[in-house]
């Protein structure tokens, strides 16, 4: 019997800001061609216009979609309780959903992801999450760490990542953020590890395979320590040899159970080793890096992953 795959892939054209769609139309066309050549049928699904029921998914015309697998790829709303996440989790009870929404949830939240990795002895910076109404007692972190980074737990593109060097800065920033909320908020921070940006290595992993490494160009760094993309347009990256972090990122991928993920790694001058500083559920996908790695194109990797996870006859 011919296998059927549902695809929900909002496209992004070159130059567009990345707010939802990520995959260019050219990559989608190539993916469709690979699926067709493999004898895999596919149907494009508009999840917001479909009904998720106790028996599965019904398309906009009311017909039931009896898929063997659903592949989705777009930027989710940052709220883990969003309708999108509930929809994907529900569908995963009826069919294989790639990427696994539960793994995405584990990996996207920096506190939960770092906690899981640290518990398995995988190198991450020292970190802490605390309530904003307890900020005055957090001065000891600065005494111990020297500098700390405040990070949105659901951040992206470097937005909102702030270095704190003094106790007063910590108080002012946290109390300002908390002033927009009626109740205390949770604050996530990490120890800042001095590092050389020329040794940064980011990696892309698809279906637990390390596909390639890359490094953002210097113009994407702010003050020599933070990667920042104000327009959310991506790019400005070059291939980098991932060999120094292979063991680190493969172990991290297994712990998180991620189907598609990226890791940003720095070389800590203090510890003399690589650490994972960010887990990216939307990894940096660059056609020239795929070509340089020589393991297949973006579309080929996705087609192979879909074929691998279809139920066996």
Note whether residue 105 is domain-resident.
Answer: no
Q: Which residues of 190-207 are buried (b: 16+ CB within 10 A; e: fewer)?
A: bbbbebebeebbbbbbbb
Q: Give the domain-ending residue among 138, 165, 191.
A: 191
Question: Model-level pTM?
Answer: 0.91
Say yes or no: 164 and 221 in one domain: no
285 and 201 housed in the same domain: yes
Q: Which residue did the predictor score with more confidence, 190 or 2?
A: 190
Q: How far apart are the first and last CA of the chain?
A: 8
pLDDT band at 183 (very low <50, low <70, confident <90, very high): very high
**What is the model's pLDDT at position 223?**
81
CATH no. for residue 264?
Answer: 3.30.470.20
Which residues touch 20 (CB under 8 Å, ≥6 apart)?
A: 10, 12, 74, 75
Q: Is 261 exposed, middle or buried (0-12, 13-18, 19+ CB in 10 A)?
A: buried
> Where is average pLDDT lowest: 36-45, 78-87, 161-170, 283-292?
78-87
Tell me how far apart the alpha carbons of residues 301 and 31 are, in angstroms, rounded to a whole number. Answer: 9
Domain-ending residue, one of 191, 215, 242: 191
Residue 305, in any domain of the structure: yes
User: Alpha carbon 91 to chain centroid distance?
Assistant: 21
- Consecutive H or E run containing 190: strand 186-191
Place 174 in a pLDDT band, splitting at 50, 70 and 90: very high
Q: Which residue range forms the structural domain that includes residue 178?
A: 126-191
Q: What is the domain-level CATH number for residue 45?
A: 3.40.50.20
Domain boundary among 139, 170, 191: 191
pLDDT in tens, 259-284: 999 999 999 999 999 999 999 998 99
Q: How many other C-beta atoms can be found within 10 angstroms of the C-beta atom of residue 279?
A: 26
pLDDT of residue 15: 57
Domain contains 257? yes
In contact, 201 and 215? CB cutoff 8 Å: yes
Residue 2 predicted with pLDDT over 70 = no
Q: From edge to edge, which strands make up the β-sheet containing 209-216?
A: 237-240, 209-216, 201-206, 260-268, 273-280
User: What's the total number of domains in the chain?
Assistant: 3
Residue of 289 and 227 predicted with greater confidence? 289
- Asked if pLDDT for residue 4 goes beyond 70, the answer is yes
In a domain, 111, yes or no: no
Whether residue 186 is contained in a domain is answered as yes
pLDDT of 1 over the 60 cut: no
Q: Please state the rounded mean pLDDT for residues 170-192.
A: 95
């Amino acid at each position: 019997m011919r296998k059927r795959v549902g695809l929900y892939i909002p496209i992004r054209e070159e130059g567009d800001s990345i707010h939802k769609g990520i995959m260019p139309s050219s990559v989608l066309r190539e993916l469709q061609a690979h699926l067709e050549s493999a004898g895999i049928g596919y149907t494009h699904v508009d999840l917001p216009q479909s009904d998720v029921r106790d028996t599965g998914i019904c398309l906009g015309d009311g017909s039931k979609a009896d898929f063997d697998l659903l592949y989705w790829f777009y930027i989710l709303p940052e709220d883990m309780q969003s309708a999108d996440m509930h929809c994907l989790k529900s569908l995963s009870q009826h069919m294989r959903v790639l990427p696994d929404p539960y793994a995405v949830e584990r990996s996207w939240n920096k506190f939960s992801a770092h906690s899981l990795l640290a518990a398995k002895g995988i190198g991450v910076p020292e970190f802490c999450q605390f309530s904003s109404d307890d900020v005055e007692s957090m001065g000891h972190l600065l005494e111990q760490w020297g500098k700390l980074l405040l990070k949105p737990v659901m951040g992206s593109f470097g937005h909102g990542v702030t270095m704190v060097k003094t106790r007063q800065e910590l108080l002012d920033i946290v109390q300002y953020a908390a002033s927009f909320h009626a109740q205390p908020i949770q604050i996530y921070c990490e120890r800042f590890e001095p590092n050389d940006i020329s040794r940064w290595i980011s990696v892309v992993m698809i279906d637990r395979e390390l596909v390639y490494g890359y490094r953002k160009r210097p113009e994407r760094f702010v003050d020599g320590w933070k990667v920042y993309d104000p327009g959310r347009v991506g790019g400005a990256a070059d291939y980098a040899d991932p060999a120094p972090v292979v063991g680190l990122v493969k172990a991290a991928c297994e712990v998180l159970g991620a189907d598609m993920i990226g890791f940003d790694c720095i070389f800590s001058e203090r510890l003399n080793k690589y650490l994972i500083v960010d887990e990216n559920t939307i990894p940096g996908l660059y056609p020239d890096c795929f070509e340089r790695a020589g393991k297949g194109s973006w579309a080929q990797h996705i087609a192979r992953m879909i074929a691998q996870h279809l139920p066996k006859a």
